[in-house]
């Protein structure tokens, strides 16, 4: 803990791993949203068939980085030494959670929210929604990478499916082309794909709304509580004039 001006004290909360995860997550999601939107409205914009395959391939490469970064964060939540990086400080659960949630909401309404060094109870609800959506996007995206552009981790399986395992067809198979596929098998594969593209499509819009809500909530909390919420994702520390309620739990 470092002394700052007056009676404000800086408390370390987010270690470098969390901060790197957060900003790589932001950048990859922005990239995925941008390329995904062009894929979605490709017809209206006049993207050619080859252009669409290229965009899907680029989207998948950004997606791999997004998935690796997300996997790293999910593992870190089990093994991190910093208690604020662990599931116990993230999930909206555990003894006394509903009481702390009520206290935080009524405190915020009354103009005095309890000061949290880690995530406050409302932020935990938001994080549960965000992580669930990110997982849905990652899993459905990895399946679509296989069904649409025959890319890993499942591309070889889907290529095998649509060609019936014919080595000659497999060697000539191209993403976005139906030339070397067995049409009946291809139709079956597309039927299998349907729930995954629907999940990815609707997940995209819900995630977009959740991201906007997350940013708005962070800005509002920063303006009301003035604990350096935004700068903490760069510096790693928040500042308080009194001891946060979740310190030395
Ligand atoms: C936050 C994460 C993600 C967002 C916001 C996102 C967004 C989108 C959007 C808007 C589309 C167009 C949907 C449509 O055409 O109906 C799309 C398609 C696609 N996404 Fe993602 N995506 C994400 C993650 C991923 C990941 C991790 C992968 C794979 C590694 C992936 C692979 C694909 C593929 C292959 C398609 C083409 C499917 C198609 O439209 O035919 N996505 N994505």
Residues 6+ apart with CB under 8 A from 64: none
Ligand 1 pocket, 39 CB below 6 A? yes
Is residue 108 over pLDDT 80?
Answer: yes
Q: Is the CB of 61 within 6 Å of ligand 1?
A: no
**CB 144 near ligand 1, within 6 Å:** yes
pTM of the model: 0.94
For the segment 161-179, the average pLDDT, to the nearest whole number, is 97
Query: 22, 39, 43: which to mutate for ligand 1, most atoms within 8 A of CB?
Result: 39
Q: What is the pLDDT of residue 134?
A: 98
**Ligand 1 centre distance from Cα of residue 35 (Å):** 8
CA of residue 166 to ligand 1 center, whole Å: 29
Q: Is 63 in the pocket of ligand 1 (CB under 6 A)?
A: yes
pLDDT (tens digit, 9 = 90+) per residue, 124-166? 999 999 999 999 999 999 999 999 999 999 999 999 999 999 9
- Any ligand 1 atom below 6 A from CB of 36: yes
- Is residue 246 in contact with ligand 1, taking CB distance under 6 Å? no
Task: Please tell me the distance from the alpha carbon of residue 121 to that of residue 127, in angstroms, as a whole number.
Answer: 10
Res. 112 pLDDT band, cuts 50 70 90: confident
Percent of the chain at pLDDT > 90 equals 93
Encode pLDDT of 45-102 as tens digits: 999 999 999 999 999 999 999 999 999 999 999 999 999 999 999 999 998 999 999 9
pLDDT of residue 247: 87
Q: Which domains does the chain have, with CATH numbers?
A: 12-240 (1.20.950.20)
- Whether the CB of 159 sits within 6 Å of ligand 1: no
Pocket flag, ligand 1, residue 131 (CB < 6 Å): no
> 228: CA distance to ligand 1 center in Å?
34
């Amino acid at each position: 803990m470092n002394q700052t001006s007056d009676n404000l004290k800086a408390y370390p909360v987010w270690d470098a791993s969390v901060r790197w995860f957060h900003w790589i997550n932001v950048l990859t999601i922005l990239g995925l949203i941008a390329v995904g939107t062009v894929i979605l409205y490709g017809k209206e914009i006049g993207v050619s068939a080859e252009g669409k395959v290229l965009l899907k391939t680029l989207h998948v490469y950004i997606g791999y980085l997004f998935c690796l970064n997300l996997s790293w964060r999910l593992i870190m939540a089990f093994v991190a030494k910093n208690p604020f990086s662990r599931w116990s400080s993230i999930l909206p659960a555990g003894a006394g959670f509903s009481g702390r949630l009520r206290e935080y909401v009524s405190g915020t309404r009354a103009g005095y929210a309890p000061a949290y060094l880690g995530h406050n109870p409302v932020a935990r609800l938001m994080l549960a929604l965000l992580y669930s959506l990110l997982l849905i996007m990652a899993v459905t995206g990895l399946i679509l990478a296989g069904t649409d552009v025959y890319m890993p981790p499942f591309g070889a399986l889907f290529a095998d499916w649509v060609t019936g395992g014919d080595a000659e067809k497999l060697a000539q198979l191209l993403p976005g082309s139906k030339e070397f596929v067995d049409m009946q098998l291809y139709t079956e594969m597309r039927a299998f794909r349907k729930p995954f593209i629907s999940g990815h499509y609707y997940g995209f819009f819900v995630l977009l709304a959740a991201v906007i809500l997350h940013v708005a909530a962070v800005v509002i909390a920063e303006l009301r509580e003035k604990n350096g919420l935004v700068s903490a994702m760069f510096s790693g520390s928040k500042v308080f004039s009194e001891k946060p309620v979740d310190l030395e739990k």
